Amino acid sequence: MKNIVILISGRGSNMQAIVRAAEAERWPCRIAAVISNRADAEGLAYAAARGIPTAVVPSKAYSSRDDFDAALRQEIDGFQPDLVVLAGFMRILTPPFVEHYSGRMLNIHPSLLPSFPGLATHRQALAAGVKVHGATVHFVTAELDHGPVVAQAAVPVLPGDSEESLAERVLAEEHRIYPLAVRWFVERRLRIDQGVVHIDHPAAPLPETERNR
């Protein structure tokens, strides 16, 4: 049984999509905790209502990135995670933190990486005039919004789109591909070879011992 810790900073709709899918599809995993760097993150209430342990490590309380990352790491590791899922977690993480979770930390980014890393991706896409946009789930590496790609989904950019309408179309796809990617990880189907993720198919059945752990 794998332990998953999900980090959020706000609404947490991706976290909710993962929690719902894990429950509905009976993944062999436990959502061990939802942790936020903001006490007012709306997603915390949803997690608590589902009986998932929640914690807050307030980024504002730490004067340096290193100190915050150290405190966050301690909180996360208390839940013995096999996988850390960044779901709208709006913090840039230090290289030692990223290294500690190497190969076991996923992020979702609202663009078709490597296009439009960073913030305001929908604005960037509209300004560039691209005709397709989308979302990417990737393993986290020290370079922001880079790292081996696990899953992507594309949406059309339509005439008259605003940042909001485009964000809404992309978010619907995020809610589809993020649970899928996490499920693949839980099912041990992901292999990274020279920076490229290979997805084993079909899923190898989990050994009985692993199912019951």
Catalytic residues: 109
Which residue stretch of 9-17, 50-58, 91-99, 144-152 sits at the interface with ligand GRF (rule: CB under 6 A)?
Answer: 9-17
SS3 at position 24 = helix
Q: How far is the CB of 5 from ligand GRF (least distance, A)?
A: 15
Closest CA relative to residue 88, chosen from 69, 107, 105: 107
Told to check if 140 binds ligand GRF by CB under 6 A, we report no
The strand pair at 196-199 and 190-193 is best described as antiparallel
Build a one-symbol-per-residue string for 142-181: x at contacts with ligand GRF by CB under 6 A, - elsewhere: -----------------------------x--x-------
Alpha helix (H) residue ranges in the chain: 13-24, 43-49, 65-77, 95-100, 121-128, 163-186, 208-212
Among 6, 19, 87, 113, binds ligand GRF (CB under 6 A): 87
The partner residues of 156 in beta bridges, in order of sequence, read 132
Q: How far is the CB of 89 from ligand GRF (least distance, A)?
A: 8
Q: How far is the CB of 203 from ligand GRF (least distance, A)?
A: 26
Distance CA 77, CA 71 (A): 10
What part of residues 18-77 is at the interface with ligand GRF (CB under 6 A)? Answer: none
Told to check if 11 binds ligand GRF by CB under 6 A, we report yes
